[in-house]
Amino acid sequence: MGSIDEIKPWITAGNILGEGPIYLEDSKELCWIDIAGKSISRSRIDAKGGREVYPLPVISTVLAEIEGRPDELILGTENGFALWNWKDKSFRPLVDIWKNDPVMGKKSRLNDGNIDCRGRFWAGSMIGMFGADETGNSSLYRLDSDLSVHTMLDGISIANGLGWNSDNTVMYFADSHDRTVWAFDFDAESGSISNKRAFYIHDGEAVPDGLAVDADGNVWLALWEGYAVLQISPEGEVIRKIDLPVSRVTCPCFGGPDFDELFITSAMLDPERPVGVEGCVFRLKVGVRGRPRNRFVMGKGVTAQDERDSS
């Protein structure tokens, strides 16, 4: 891929904590979140560096498209799940995970997540903005189409990247605190996971962050404080390292007309002390193809939280 100096930002976004990139195939746009900056951005991939940025009322962390609802996204937030509407730029709460646990609700937020092959939204939580306050007190949740929330895994510290192998029999899930990407047997029909084992353990100061899985089943893993994205084989072996000119690499995703481009978000954290191109979005040809991300399937007649509360 060339030297680190040859990799230039695609968009100089200045994100404080850029995260959650997804490629919107229908509109040919990349969309992502600035968690600490409380904003959502999108940019057409045929444009040269331009983007639209909109403020969000709460900390939001991860996003996904919704099947049959092209004007909306579903977001993971500090409270649970919410809807974002592109037409009127509106934000509407959908599910409050911690509604009945206000103590945990004041401390927790969702972090990374993904949609499985049956349209269910998996998202993990963490304590505080950067997860340093508590360890082992967070969970992995699954949001079904009827908006029921299921706790799938406890004892998590910093929930991060999540994805599935090519035939949807294995789920990958990163806990940054453990420096580990875990693998589980995945049952698509029931949405259950079992047989937890270590898939990849990172040796060093950097920690696993977001991830994406390509069409061949390789896992592409961002390294927070690691200046890199790793390509890891289905057997858990590092087969490529892409060096980047930023330390806080947060999340990759595949996109482009042929899904052969890797888009990567990053963070700078301290807006008063920007360092080089920290917080930018990168766009690279990596010689492999990814897969379109699944869309959340929302049940018929399902409404947002504010509509349910007022009925």
User: Has 209 been annotated as catalytic?
Assistant: yes
- DSSP H stretches of helix in the chain: 102-107, 305-310
User: Is there a binding annotation on residue 25?
Assistant: no
Q: Residue 134's pLDDT is what?
A: 66
| pLDDT class of 311 with cuts at 50, 70, 90 | very low
Domains and CATH numbers, the chain: 9-307 (2.120.10.30)
Q: Could you report the per-residue pLDDT of 102-136, keeping only the tens digit for each?
A: 878 788 899 999 999 999 999 999 998 765 556 88
What would the pLDDT profile of 53-94 be if each residue is shown by its tens digit?
Answer: 999 999 999 999 999 999 999 999 999 999 999 999 999 999
111 assigned binding-site residue: yes
**Which of 209, 216, 243, 309 is flagged as catalytic?**
209
Please indicate if the annotation marks 272 as binding a ligand.
no
**Residue 8 CB-density burial (10 A; 0-12 exposed, 13-18 middle, 19+ buried):** exposed
CB 93 within 8 A of CB 119: no
295 is an annotated ligand-binding site residue: no
Half-sphere exposure of 31 (CA within 13 A, CB side): 23
- Annotated binding residue 160: yes
> What's the predicted TM-score (pTM) here?
0.93
Cα separation, 72 vs 27, in Å, equals: 13
Task: In whole angstroms, give the CA distance from residue 171 to residue 213.
Answer: 10
